[in-house]
Amino acid sequence: MRSWGLLAIIVALCCAAAVSHHGVPLAADISAARDNFDGQCAKCHGESGHGDGPAGVLLPVRPRNFTDCARMSKESDERLFNTIKGGGESAGLSKEMPAWGEAFDNDEIKGLVAYIRQFCKPQNATNR
């Protein structure tokens, strides 16, 4: 009887790990996404996601403010993914947003989407 209980716990932990890995990005994934965001995206979108990065303020169209939760709630993850991968013009947005599909693989872009979403989550540790 005791071995069945242990087996049930092991199965539950494995299922939880699978869901965490495929459903919600792990802390390591978010950390890598933050590094990618800081290295490339923050130049225009700003470290805090307000669209006020040093390069962004010089653009004719202001970069997206990821902290505008009303606006961001209307954007699907798929559209954000496609915008990052193919650039703004590919999604009907500003041509000033470059395509990052050659710089980041699909998993890294998914991580960026998850990281960008965190700017609208209250009291999130990754917000600055």
Q: What is the pLDDT of residues 52-87, one digit of tens each?
A: 999 999 999 999 999 999 999 999 999 999 999 999
| 108 burial via Cβ count (<10 Å: 0-12, 13-18, 19+) | middle
**Which fold, 26-120?**
Cytochrome Bc1 Complex; Chain D, domain 2 (1.10.760)
Mean pLDDT, the chain, integer: 83
CA-atom Rg of the chain in angstroms: 18
pTM recorded for the entire structure = 0.76
| pLDDT mean over 106-126 | 85
| Four-CA torsion 12, 112, 28, 70, nearest 10 degrees | -60
**If pLDDT is split at 50, 70 and 90, which confidence band does 121 have?**
confident
